[in-house]
Structure 1
Amino acid sequence: MAKALRFSFSYLPELAGTFLAPLLIVLLCLPLRAWISPTDVAMLQLLWVAWQAQHYGWRWASLTTLVSVLILNWCFVPPYYTFDVHDASFFISFVVMVVLGLLISLLSEQSKQQLKRLRYAMSQTRGMYMLAKGLGQRQSWSQQCAYAAKLLSRRLGAAVQVVQGQQPAAAAEQAVLPVGSPATAWILVPPAFLTSHPTLLHTAQSLLAQSYAQLELREKAQQDRVKAQLEQQKAMLLRSLSHDLRTPLATIMGASSMLADPELQLSTAQRQQQAQNIYQQSQILNQHFEKVLELSKAQLTGHHIQLTDFSSDDLVAGALARRGEKATELTASLHCSAAESLSGDLELLEIALANMLENALYHGAAPFELQMGQKASAFYIRLTNTVNDQAPSNRDKGHGLGINICRAVAGLHQGSFEIQSCPKLQQITAVLEWPR
C-alpha cells in the first residue's frame, strides 16, 4: 500500500498536467463559449500538449491529447455536456487534433533525444579535450596516470583507477582496460560505463598509450643527447691531452736527456736546475692526470647522477678541499655570496667549482667574486675575476681540461657552462647553470 502511494505521488505533476490542466483551460474558456469556436480552444489545448511533450515525454502528451479532445467535446460541441456529435465536421476537427497532438509529441520526443545525444557528445568531447590537455602539461608517467584517474572519476561520477605495472587481479565489480601494447598501465572502471561511455574510455586508453610512447621517445632522445655530449667531451679530451701534455713532457725529456748524456759536461748548478725543471714539469703532469681522472669520473657517471640537496657553503668547502695546496691563496681573495640551497650531484659540482677557481687563479687576478643561488627555473654558479694582462700564458697548467670538465658536469645536469668576457670592466665571468 505504501509503495503504491509513493508511486502515485511521484507521478503527481504528470497526472495533474494530463487531467487537470486541459480541464482548467476549458473551464476558463467556458464563459466565452458564445464568442469563441471549439477550434480556438483546441489550439490552446494543443499548445499545452506541446509543453507537456517537452517536459514529460510523448506518452503523457498523447494521453493529454485524448483527454483534451474528450473535454472539448463535452463542453464546447453541441449538444453540450454529452459525447454526442451531431455535426460530422467536428469529427474531422477531432481527428486532426489527435493527429497533431500525437505528431507534436513524437517530434518533441525526437528533439529531446537529439538534444540528449548532442549533450552527451559535447560532454565526451570536453572530457577528451581536458584529458589530452592535462596529459600534455604533466611530465612524468605517474602524474599522467593520476590525472587520468582523477578526470575519469569526475566525468563518470564513479571511482576509476589507473594502475601501473603488472595487470591487477580482476574483480567482479570492475572492468580492466589495458593501456598500450604491451600494456604499461591498466584502467579499472565499473563495467556499466563500458557501454554508457565507451568513447571516453577508449580515448583515454589511446591518449595514455600515446603519452607513454612520447615519454619513452623523449627519454631516449635525452639519452642520445647525453651520449653525443660524452663523445664530444672525449674528442675534446684527446685534443686537450695532445696540447697540454706535450709541453711539460718535452721539457722532461729534454732535461733528462741532458742529464743522461755522458759527453755533456754540466756543472752542479746546471744539474740542479735541470732536476728542478724535471720536478716542476712532473708536478704539472700530475695535475693534468688528476684532471683527466676527474673528467673520466664525470663521463663515466653517465646520466645516472646522484641528485641531493645541499648548501652552497658545503659546495665551496668541498671544492677548496680538492685544491688543498691552493686553498689558502684562494680563500684570501674569494668573496662568496650568502649561503643558498642548491640541488644536484654534489661531488660533480665540487669538481666543476674546483676547476673554475683554479682557472681563475691561474689566468686572472683577485678579487674573485663567487655567487651561487637559484633563479626562476635554474640553479647557477657565477665566478667573476679581473683580467691579468701581465700574467704569462699558462696553457700548460690545465686551462683547457678545466673547461672541458666544467662543460661535462654541466651537460650531465642538462645545463650549460659559458665564459663571458667584459672588456670595458676588464673582467671574465664563468657561469655554470643547470635546471631546477
Structure 2
Amino acid sequence: MAKARRVSFSYLPELAGTLLAPLLIVLLCLPLRNWISPTDVAMLQLLWVAWQAQHYGWRWAAITTLVSVLVLNWCFVPPYYTFDVHDASFFISFVVMVVLGLLISLLSDQSKQQLKRLRYAMSQTRGMYMLAKGLGQRQNWQQQCDYTSKLLSRRLGASVQVITTAEPESTADHSVLAVGSPATAWILVPSAFLISHPTLLHTAQSLLAQSYARLELSEKAQQDRVKAQLEQQKTMLLRSLSHDLRTPLATIMGSSSMLADPELQFSTEQRQQQALNIYQQSQILNQHFEKVLELSKAQLTGHHIQLTNFSSDDLVAGALARRGDKATQLSASLHCSAAASLHGDLELLEIALANMLENALYHGAAPFELQMGHNGSQFYIRLTNALNDQAPSQRDKGHGLGVNICRAVAGLHQGSFELQHNSQHVTAVLEWPR
C-alpha cells in the first residue's frame, strides 16, 4: 500500500496539469464567453498542450488534449453544459484540435528526445576530450590510470576503478573492461553504467591502451637513443684509447729495443736515461689502464644508472679520493662553491669530476674554480682554470680519454659535456636535466 501511494503521489504534477489546467483555462475565459469564440479558447488550450508535451511527454499531452476538448464542448459549445453538439462545424473544430494537439505532442516529444540525445552526445564527447587531453599531459602510467579513474567517477557519478595489479573478478553489479591485449590494466565499473554510457567507457578503454602503447614506444625509443649514444661513446673511447696508448707504447718499445741491441754501446748515464723513459711511459700506460678499469667498474658501456640525491661536498670528496696521489696538490688550489644538493648517479659523476680535475691539473694552471648546483631545469658541474702554456701535450697525458669519459657520463645522464676556451681560461662544463 505504501509503495502504491508513493507511486501515485509521484504523478501529482502531471495529473494536475492534465486535469486541472484545461478546466482552469476554461473557467477564466467563461466570463468572456459572449465576446470570444470557442476557437480562441482552443488556441489557449493548445498552447498549454505544447507546454505539457515539452515537460512531461507526449502521452500526458495527448490526454490533456482530450480533456481540453471535452471541457471546451461542455462550457463553450451550445447547448451549454452538455456534450451535445447541434452545429456540425464544431465537430470539424474538435477533430482539428485533437489532431493538432496530438501532432504538437509528438513533435515536441521528438524535439525533447533529440535534445536529450544531443546533450548526451556532447557530454560524452566532452568526457572523451578531457580524457584524451589529460592522458597526453601525464607521462607516468600510474598517474594516467589514477586520472582516468577520477574522471570517469566524476562523469558517471559512481565509483570507477582502474586496477593495474591483478585482474578483478566480474560480478553481477560490476563489469570488467580489459585495457590492451594482453591486458595491462582493468576498468572496474558498475554494470548499469556500462549499458548507459558504453561510448565513454569503451573510448576510455581504447585511449588507455593507446597511451600505454605510446609510453612503451617512447621508453623503447629512449632506450634505443641511450644505446646509440653508448655505442658512439664506446667507439670514441676505443679510438681515444688507441691513440693515447700508441705514443707511450712506441717509446717503451723503442727504448727497450735499443737497450736490447748488442751492437749499440751505451754509457751508464744513457742507459739510465732510457730506463727512465721506459718507466715514465709505463706510468702513463698505467694511468690509461686505471681509467679503463674505472669504466669497467662503473659498467659505463652497459650501465643502468642509479639516481640518488647527494651533496656536492660528497661528490668532491669522492672524486679526490679517486685521485689519491694528486688529491693534496688539487686540494691546495681548488676553490669550491657552497654546498648544493644534486641528483644523479654519484659513482659515475665522481669518475667524471675526477677526470675533470686531473685534466685541469695537467693542462691548466691554478687556481681551480669549481661550481656545482642547478639553474632551473638543469644540474651543472663547472670547473674553470687558467691557461698553462708549459703544460704537457694532451697525447702524453691522456687528455682525450678523460674528456670522452666525461662525455660518456654526461650521455648516460641525458646531458652534455663541453670545453669552453677563451684567451685566459678554460672551463669544463658538465650539465644534465633535473
Normalising by the smaller structure, the TM-score range is over 0.9
- Report if aligned partners of 1:298, 1:409 keep a CA contact under 8 Å in 2: no
Distance (whole Å) between structure 2 residues aligned to residue 377 and residue 431 of structure 1? 15
By how many angstroms is 1:72 displaced?
Answer: 1.2
Whether contact under 8 Å (1:305, 1:412) holds in the other structure is yes
Q: Residues 220, 3 of structure 1: CA spacing in aligned structure 2 closer, same or farther, 3 A cutoff?
A: closer
Alignment partner, residue 426 of structure 2: 428
| Residue correspondence of structure 1 range 37-76 to structure 2 within 5 A | 37-76=37-76
Residue 42 of structure 1 deviates from its aligned partner by 0.8
Partner of 1:244: 244
Deviations 1:380-420 (A, max 9, x none): 21222222234342322111111111111111112221222
- Deviation digits for residues 103-156 of structure 1, max 9, x if unmatched? 111111111111111111111111111111111111122222222222222222
**Cα offset, 1:289, TM superposition:** 0.6
Partner in structure 1 of residue 315 of structure 2:
315
Aligned-pair CA distance for 1:36: 1.1
Residue 366 of structure 2 is matched in structure 1 by 366
Amino acid corresponding to residue 287 of structure 1 in structure 2: Q
- Alpha-carbon deviation of 1:54? 0.7
The 2-side partners of 1:170 and 1:48 are apart by 50
1:14 offset after TM fit, Å? 1.6
The within-5 A match list for 1:406-421 is: 406-421=406-421
Residue equivalent to 2:376: 376
Bigger CA drift: 75-84 or 260-269? 260-269
Query: Retained in 1: the 8 A contact 2:300–2:409?
Result: no
Name the amino acid aligned to 1:370.
Answer: L
Cα deviation digits, residues 281-332 of structure 1 (max 9, x gap): 1111111111112233445463521111111111111011111111122222
When structure 1 is superposed on structure 2, of 274-283 and 305-314 the one drifting more is 274-283
Instruction: Give identity over the alignment, percent.
Output: 87
With normalisation by structure 2, the TM-score equals 0.95
Q: For 1:278 and 1:390, locate their aligned partners in 2 and report how far apart those are by CA, in whole Å.
A: 23
The answer to whether the 8 Å contact 1:295/1:408 transfers is no
- What is the identity, as a one-letter code, of the residue corresponding to 2:339? A
State the alpha-carbon separation in 2 of the partners of residues 408 and 299 from structure 1: 11
Distance 2:298 2:403 in 1: 13
Task: Check the 8 A contact 1:295/1:404 in 2, yes or no.
Answer: no
Contact in 1 for aligned 2:298/2:347 (Cα 8 Å): no
- Structure 2 Cα separation of the partners of residues 2 and 167 of structure 1: 44
Task: State whether residues 294 and 405 of structure 1, in contact with CA within 8 Å, keep that contact through their aligned partners in structure 2.
Answer: no
In the alignment, which residue of structure 2 is the partner of 1:348? 348
CA contact 1:310–1:341 (8 Å) conserved in 2: yes
- Classify the secondary structure of the residue corresponding to 2:405: helix
Match of 1:89 in 2: 89
Greater mean alpha carbon deviation, residues 195-204 or residues 103-112: 195-204
Q: Is the 8 A contact 2:167 2:186 kept in 1?
A: yes
Given that 1:312 and 1:339 are in contact with CA atoms closer than 8 Å, whether structure 2 keeps it comes out as yes
Structure 2 counterpart of 1:429, which letter? T
Question: How many angstroms does 1:165 deviate by?
Answer: 4.7
- The secondary structure found in structure 2 opposite 1:245 is helix
Q: What residue in structure 1 maps to residue 124 of structure 2?
A: 124
Q: Which amino acid aligns with 2:121?
A: A
The letter of the residue matching 1:253 is: M
State how far apart, in whole Å, the 1-side matches of 2:164 and 2:358 are: 49
Cα distance in 2 for partners of 1:361, 1:157 equals: 68
Structure 1: which 4+ aligned runs deviate by more than 6 Å?
Answer: none
| Superposed CA offset, 1:69-103 (max 9, x none) | 11111221112222221111111111111111111
Corresponding position of 1:176: 176
For 2:429 and 2:209, the matched residues in 1 are separated by 40
Tell me, yes or no, if the aligned pair for 2:22 and 2:71 is still in contact at 8 Å. yes
Cα RMSD of the aligned pairs, angstroms, is 1.8
Corresponding residue number in structure 1 for 2:209:
209
What is the rounded CA distance, in whole Å, between the counterparts of 1:239 and 1:303 in structure 2? 20
